[in-house]
Structure 1
Amino acid sequence: MATKNATTRAETNEFVGVFRLVKFGIAALLAVSIVNVLVLFIGVAMVDFPAEFVGGPFGPLAVGPVVINSAVAALGATLVYGVVTRYAARPNRTFTVIAGAILILSFAMFLAPDLAGAPPRVFATLAVMHVTAAVTIVGVLTRATTQKEMSR
């Protein structure tokens, strides 16, 4: 019980400076891009995808869009995390809940016209990429918190 109370007290005093936030934001961007490209390569190696979903620079399962979308997600999450650490009493918990909600909303992208008629294996791969992106981003950014003893 004492450990739980100490953790709760410590979490309410967390603070992330701008330099530290940028550093962890870049780490999240790199990590999520690498993880999602690895998931993509594993998926492509294991499953036969129709050419229109993998081929070319703009297919939903091409490296370019995967890296760009991963980077956009990491940048957006970093901005949200920065705001959350300023105003939330429990920033890591609050950010994790927000990230979970955004993960659920991200599955609405599966209704996009460029995915019309896609086989289930395409959706499964994209779903794994969304989940690994969320877990990676939350895992990296929530390590950025430090005690408030640092000056703002």
Structure 2
Amino acid sequence: MASRFDAAGESIPTATLAVRGVVALILSILGNGALLGIVLATDVVSRFDALSPIPVFFLTIVGVIGATVVFGALTRRSDRPDRTFTLVAAVVLLASFAPDLYILSEDPDATAGAVAVLMVMHVVVAAACVFALTDRYSPIAR
């Protein structure tokens, strides 16, 4: 299904972009909050600084804001912004695993399980952003 905004220069309205960004943020925070809550409550993995509420929620917010800005820019510059954004999101998702692997190698408190949880949190944000921002999936303001 082609995006309603799949024409270069046909940018998504700012209000629509803002609403979709807020939905992506809410979905990301709820998903990562639930995952973090389960992990911390059950002690499934060992705790370390990166796997605590402040860094998780701060970086979730930063990621969603970045994704929203990128999607808005793509609607102005790409003939197929939904497809392009999905590809960009996949590449950024893969690149986002590198710092987690660095943490695993450098932080003595980090375990493979805890870093895997961080990686799953990146997937949650990427999925929420693709779902909420792109016209292909989002039911918002069609």
Same-fold call, TM cutoff 0.5? yes
Q: Does 1:116 align with 2:95?
A: no
* Aligned equivalents of 2:24, 2:51: Cα separation in 1: 21
Q: Does 1:27 align with 2:18?
A: no
Q: Taking structure 1 as reference, are residues 79 and 9 closer, same or farther at Cα in structure 2, changes over 3 Å only? A: closer
* Aligned equivalents of 1:134, 1:121: Cα separation in 2: 20
* Aligned equivalents of 2:29, 2:122: Cα separation in 1: 11
Q: Does 1:84 align with 2:74?
A: yes
Q: Which runs of 5+ in 1 are unaligned?
A: 1-6, 54-58, 147-152
Q: In the TM superposition, what whole-angstrom CA distance separates every residue of 1:24-51 from its partner, at most 9, and x where no partner exists?
A: 1122112211111111112223444434
Q: Does 1:107 align with 2:97?
A: yes
Letter in 2 for 1:71: I
Task: Give 1:1-152 correspondences, 5 Å limit.
Answer: 7-8=1-2, 12-13=6-7, 15-51=11-47, 53=48, 59-110=49-100, 111-112=102-103, 116-117=107-108, 118-142=110-134, 143=138, 146=142
Letter in 2 for 1:65: P
Work out whether residues 104 and 115 of structure 2, in 8 Å CA contact, stay in contact via their aligned partners in 1.
no
Work out whether residues 49 and 121 of structure 1, in 8 Å CA contact, stay in contact via their aligned partners in 2.
yes
Q: Taking structure 1 as reference, are residues 109 and 8 closer, same or farther at Cα in structure 2, changes over 3 Å only? A: same
Alpha-carbon deviation of 1:129? 0.7
Q: In the TM superposition, what whole-angstrom CA distance separates every residue of 1:2-23 from its partner, at most 9, and x where no partner exists?
A: xxxxx34856346410111111
Query: SS of the residue aligned with 2:51?
Result: coil
* Aligned equivalents of 2:37, 2:3: Cα separation in 1: 43
Give the count of matched residue pairs: 134
Superposed CA RMSD in Å reads: 2.3
Letter in 2 for 1:78: T
Percent sequence identity is 32
